């Protein structure tokens, strides 16, 4: 199909930090206000609102109730995608592409430090065969990481490379609070949580909100710095861990194929200025790079080790710092999108990738990356 003309015209993020001393409404208002200001629009111009949050993590029934007013959804349409923010972004893209809505406000919010993240994630597993064993995102990731490392002959040091890079980038990202850079030795010396993953291989539990304003081609002319969504794709794998091929992600391969096809991307290895990847765990950045076709299978670690994916490298991955660098779960993919927009606009300051013009954005939800969303952003329409 003809790529729909949809642009991101405003972005804003709160500070990402643990135990944020704001209510969800206060936190989300800050992000929404920022995004509206960034886009230079008034809430009255917003036609539709898409929010992303998950009830059990928020401890609320219909947790979008907590944000109805601050996202401007009083006597306006709002829909909540209960998943990672990039899935909500894919839906928001379709709302604009449908031709029915010119301006869509997109908001993801999460309070990762509200509850025990892994204890909540236990309730994602089917209650019959997996949940009662105590399975959670951490244990599942441990199994996947171990299988992936085993298959490709990697060890904890290879994973630590991702941690070192993303913590360094996160420490340079002004929207992240309390993330410091770390040495490879310190990563390797940190206590193992689920072999082979240490505390440092797991993203920290943080709170925050991210808002993005999308606009249609027909009105994008009034915005100063539109960044165009050239393609989207998302796909979900089967659920039972024992049914899946955990060492690669077929769902991600398909999500990327769809997004690339829409965007006309044929050589993902050389078409992007940067990639923003949602990596709740260190090894996932490597696996998702491979699934996205940025590297051959089992070889993404080489791009990390050679410094290629560092901020100063030829192909920066997660210049924002990613989730390991401090952005919260659920907001994950939307925060990646916000960073890519800033990079393409040349507004990333200390973490600016020179000449960034086209970015690959990724989000994931569920255990071991069961579901993936992919978006391609471009300075050109």
**Cβ atoms of 204 and 197 closer than 8 Å:** no
Min separation Cβ 183 and other proteins, Å: 22
- Name the region of 369 (left: φ>0; alpha: ψ -120 to 50; beta: rest): left
CA atoms of 335 and 192, how far apart (whole Å): 28
Under a CB-based contact definition with an 8 Å cutoff, are residues 293 and 254 in contact?
A: no
Nearer to other proteins, 59 or 307 (CB): 59
CA–CA distance, 111 with 207 (Å, rounded to integer):
4
Token digits of residue 73: 């959804």
Among positions 226-245, residues that touch other proteins (CB under 8 A) are 232-243
Provide, rounded to whole angstroms, the least separation between the CB of residue 274 and other proteins. 25
The least CB distance from residue 15 to other proteins, in Å, is 14
CB of 164 to other proteins, least distance (A): 22
Pick one of 40, 195, 269, 350: the residue that binds other proteins (CB under 8 A).
195
According to CB under 8 A, which one of 21, 221, 224, 270 is a site residue for other proteins?
21
- Region 61-120 residues binding other proteins, contact defined as CB under 8 A: 61-62, 64-66, 68-70, 72-83, 87, 90-91, 93-100, 111, 113-116, 118-120
> Can you tell me which residue has the tokens 């031709």?
99
Q: Which of residues 292-351 bind other proteins (CB under 8 A)?
A: none
The one among 40, 126, 297, 312 contacting other proteins by CB under 8 A: 126
Touching other proteins, residues 259-288 (CB under 8 A): 262
- Does 153 contact other proteins by CB under 8 A? no
Using the contact rule CB under 8 A, the part of the chain among 13-21, 293-301, 315-323, 352-360 near other proteins is 13-21
Phi, psi dihedrals of residue 174, rounded to the nearest 5° = -65, -15
Q: Do residues 329 and 117 lie in contact, with contact meaning Cβ atoms separated by under 8 Å?
A: yes
Stretch that binds other proteins, among 320-328, 333-341, 342-350, 365-373 (CB under 8 A): 365-373
3-state secondary structure of 379: coil
CB of 122 to other proteins, least distance (A): 4
Could you say whether residue 145 binds other proteins (CB under 8 A)? yes
Closest distance between other proteins and the C-beta of residue 3, in Å?
Answer: 10
Angle, in degrees to the nearest 10, between helices 282-291 and 137-152: 60
Nearest-CA neighbor of 373 among 254, 261, 267?
254
Q: Do 299 and 176 meet the contact criterion of CB atoms below 8 Å apart?
A: no
363 binds other proteins (CB under 8 A): no
191 binds other proteins (CB under 8 A): yes
Please enumerate in sequence order all residues whose Cβ is within 8 A of that of 308, keeping only pairs 6 or more positions apart, or say none. 314, 315
Query: Which residues from 25-44 bind other proteins, rule CB under 8 A?
Result: 25-27, 29, 43-44
Residue 166 to residue 164: CA distance in whole angstroms: 6
């Amino acid at each position: 199909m003809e790529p729909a003309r949809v642009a991101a015209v405003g972005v804003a993020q709160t500070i990402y930090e643990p135990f944020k001393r704001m209510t969800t409404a206060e936190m989300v208002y800050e992000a929404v206000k920022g995004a509206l200001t960034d886009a230079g629009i008034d809430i009255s111009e917003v036609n539709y609102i898409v929010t992303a949050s998950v009830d059990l993590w928020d401890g609320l029934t219909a947790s979008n109730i907590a944000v109805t007013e601050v996202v401007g959804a009083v006597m306006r349409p709002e829909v909540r995608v209960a998943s990672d923010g990039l899935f909500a972004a894919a839906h928001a893209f379709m709302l604009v592409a449908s031709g029915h809505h010119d301006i869509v406000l997109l908001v993801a919010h999460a309070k990762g430090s509200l509850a025990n993240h892994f204890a909540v994630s236990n309730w994602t597993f089917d209650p019959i065969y997996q949940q009662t064993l105590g399975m959670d995102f951490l244990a599942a990731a441990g199994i996947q990481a171990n299988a992936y490392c085993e298959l490709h002959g990697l060890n904890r040091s290879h994973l630590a490379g991702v941690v070192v890079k993303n913590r360094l980038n996160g420490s340079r990202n002004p929207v992240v609070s309390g993330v410091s850079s770390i040495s490879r030795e310190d990563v390797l010396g940190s206590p193992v949580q689920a072999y082979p993953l240490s505390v440092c291989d797991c993203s920290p539990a943080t709170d925050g909100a991210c808002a993005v304003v999308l606009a249609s081609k027909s009105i994008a002319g009034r915005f100063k710095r539109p960044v165009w969504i050239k393609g989207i794709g998302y796909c979900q794998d089967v659920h039972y861990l024992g049914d899946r091929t955990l060492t690669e992600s077929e769902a991600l391969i398909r999500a990327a194929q769809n997004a690339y096809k829409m965007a006309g991307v044929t050589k993902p290895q050389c078409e992007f200025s940067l990639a923003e990847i949602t990596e709740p765990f260190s090894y996932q950045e490597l696996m998702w790079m491979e699934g996205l076709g940025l590297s051959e299978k089992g070889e993404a670690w080489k791009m990390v080790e050679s410094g290629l994916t560092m901020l100063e490298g030829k192909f920066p991955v997660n210049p924002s710092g990613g989730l390991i660098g401090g952005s919260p779960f659920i907001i994950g993919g939307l925060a990646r999108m916000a960073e890519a927009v800033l990079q393409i606009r040349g507004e990333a300051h200390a973490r600016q990738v020179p000449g960034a013009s086209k970015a690959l954005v990724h989000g994931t939800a569920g255990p071991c990356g069961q579901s993936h969303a992919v978006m391609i952003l471009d300075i050109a329409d």
